[in-house]
Amino acid sequence: MSKKLFIETFGCAMNTRDSEHMIAELNKEEPYELTMDASQADLILVNTCSVREKPVQKLFSELGQYKKQKKEGAKIGVTGCTASHLGAQIIQKAPYVDFVLGARNVSKLAHALHTPKAVEIDIDYDESQYAFGEYRSNPLKAYINISIGCDKQCTFCIVPHTRGDEISIPQELILREAQRAVDSGAKELFLLGQNVNNYGRRFSDNSQKSSFTQLLREVSRIDGVERIRFTSPHPLHMDDAFLEEFASNDKICKSMHMPLQSGSTAILHAMKRGYTQEWFLNRAKKLRQMVPNVHISTDIIVAFPGESLEDFEATLDVMREVQFEQIFSFKYSPRPHTAAIHLPNAIEEAEASRRLTQLQALNDELLDTLAAKRVGNRERVLFEELKSDGYVQGRADSNMLIKVKGSEELLGTLRDVEITQAGRVGNVAKLL
Ligand code: 5AD
Ligand code: SF4
């Protein structure tokens, strides 16, 4: 009987891909079967995120639960961004944890399994050319890393500390991986990097040169690739060449993530984001002019230290002007190893919550207006999931969730639909 793996993944798409990498690494040694039941597992992996404080606090109570549930002899490993930043402290606080592997060290899983109390958290470690095995949780939709780490110094963000400096993966490795994914049935490629449109910034072999725009062009030439998505781009690197490629390349899905963080130029400066409110609005406007059906999503942090009511209002103004189709909004969470932790004028918790609620209420209002206009629109959907209520669900080019009445023969197909009912998040449509 093969061994069993229970793996829990928090955080972003990079972490999801790291979990796939770890599953592939394990299977290079011996076959592991995935289980949803921690008490059945021979190995329990918790792949953590540390971008905000709360999930980090919850980690230890969760590990305590796994300790109680796990079967005799089963191992527990903590991996990912919290592993990078807490390192050996995790084993000090939870001595039953068998190993700790940082976000940039997931290729060392086999070594960690055979080394008692291994802690591998080196952020200079170069995994950019490491030959991971193949494992994909969704063969239709293939995640492909194009860079690792992040060179930005956003003052709120712990990621440069957990994932290290940015290194680009050589273009030929990316193209080979894309081809392999397509050969095994992928219709959609999802290119991943912490700062994806800064691709080409640094290669470990420094004779190479490339840019994200060039890479997009090359990937889209692969036969069989139907759709390309990517995350997360940085508004600062949205130059005209990139926007033109995005607009003119039919294989690129017309959904763009533009993490605003704040609409106030003063706060953007304090966050070291490298752009102003005017630059952001200019890029969003240009994008909407070039791609009228584009969907723009964003991330916003409220109550960054020193955020005045005028600064907060500036964020709401940008929301009204850009009309984002999706917003991920957060209260600022002070993180260790970040510059913002030393800033004065912290906003009180109650006021931070009030701002978040106000922002989300405005977002709901704006989304309702957008939804009303969407009924009757045509969209192209890749169907991925059979729902229990006789519907099949997928994502449109724009990344919107759309479901139609139907059955499993729709799974894996790309179909044109017309929206009959539109909501803030999901939509109902009929097949055309
Ligand atoms: N506090 C709150 N939100 C944060 N994010 C990153 N760091 C913090 C922090 N310290 C948010 C940003 C980022 C998203 C992934 O998480 O909006 O884009
Ligand atoms: Fe979380 Fe950021 Fe690490 Fe992703 S890179 S897992 S969002 S801390």
Same domain, 391 and 351: no
The CB of 159 under 6 Å from ligand 2? The reply is yes
Quote the domain boundaries for residue 388. 378-431
Q: Are residues 97 and 196 in the same domain?
A: no
Domain match, 171 and 83 both: no
Q: Does one domain contain both 171 and 82?
A: no
Domain count, the chain: 4
pLDDT in tens, 258-289: 999 999 999 999 999 999 999 999 999 999 99
Mean pLDDT of the 116-138 span: 94
Tell me, what's the pLDDT at 56? Answer: 85
pLDDT of residue 402: 97
Q: Determine which residue's CA is closest to atom 17 belonging to ligand 1.
A: 299
Listed in sequence order, the residues at least 6 apart from 19 whose beta carbon sits closer than 8 Å to its beta carbon are: 7, 9, 45, 47, 137
Provide the 3-class DSSP secondary structure of residue 126.
coil
Ligand 1 site, CB within 6 A: 51-52, 156-157, 259, 261, 299, 301, 330, 332-333, 335
* 38 occurs within a structural domain: yes
Same domain assignment for residues 317 and 393: no
pLDDT of the residue at 29: 87
pLDDT band, very low/low/confident/very high, at 209 (cuts 50, 70, 90): confident
| Last-in-domain residue among 341, 358, 374 | 374
162 lines ligand 2 (CB under 6 A): yes
Q: Please indicate, yes or no, whether residues 28 and 93 belong to a single structural domain of this protein.
A: yes
C-alpha to C-alpha distance for 106 and 324, rounded to whole angstroms: 35
Residues 105, 21 share a domain: yes
Task: Name the pTM for this structure.
Answer: 0.95
- Note the pLDDT tens digit of each residue in 365-408: 999 999 999 999 999 999 999 998 899 999 999 999 999 999 99
The predicted pLDDT at position 96 comes to 98
Domain stops at, among 253, 273, 292: 253
Alpha-carbon gap, residue 58 to 27, rounded angstroms: 30
Asked whether residue 99 falls in the same domain as residue 181, the answer is no
pLDDT of residue 206 exceeding 90, the answer is: no
- Domain annotation covers residue 129: no
Which protein residue has the closest C-alpha to ligand 1 atom 7? 157
Mark which of 343, 374, 405 sits at the end of a domain.
Answer: 374
- Distance between first and last Cα of the chain: 48
State whether 365 and 384 are in the same domain.
Answer: no
Q: Looking at ligand 2, which atom is closest to the CA of residue 14?
A: 4
Average confidence (pLDDT) over 114-143: 94
In a domain, 270, yes or no: no
In a domain, 128, yes or no: no
97 and 183 in a single domain? The answer is no
Burial of residue 393 (number of CB atoms within 10 Å: 0-12, 13-18, 19+): buried
Considering the domain architecture, whether residues 71 and 140 belong to the same structural domain is answered as no
Asked if pLDDT for residue 207 goes beyond 80, the answer is: no
What is the reported pLDDT for 388?
Answer: 87
Separation of 63 CA from ligand 2 center, angstroms? 19
Indicate whether 277 belongs to any domain. no
CA pair distance 297, 232, nearest whole angstrom: 11
Give mean pLDDT, residues 311-322.
98
Average pLDDT over residues 183-211: 92
CATH number of the domain encompassing residue 366: 3.30.750.200
Q: Which two tokens stand for residue 7?
A: 């793996």
Residues 105 and 18 in one domain: yes
Instruction: Compute the mean pLDDT over every residue in the chain, rounded to the nearest whole number.
Output: 96
pLDDT at 314 over 90: yes
Mean pLDDT of 88-117: 97
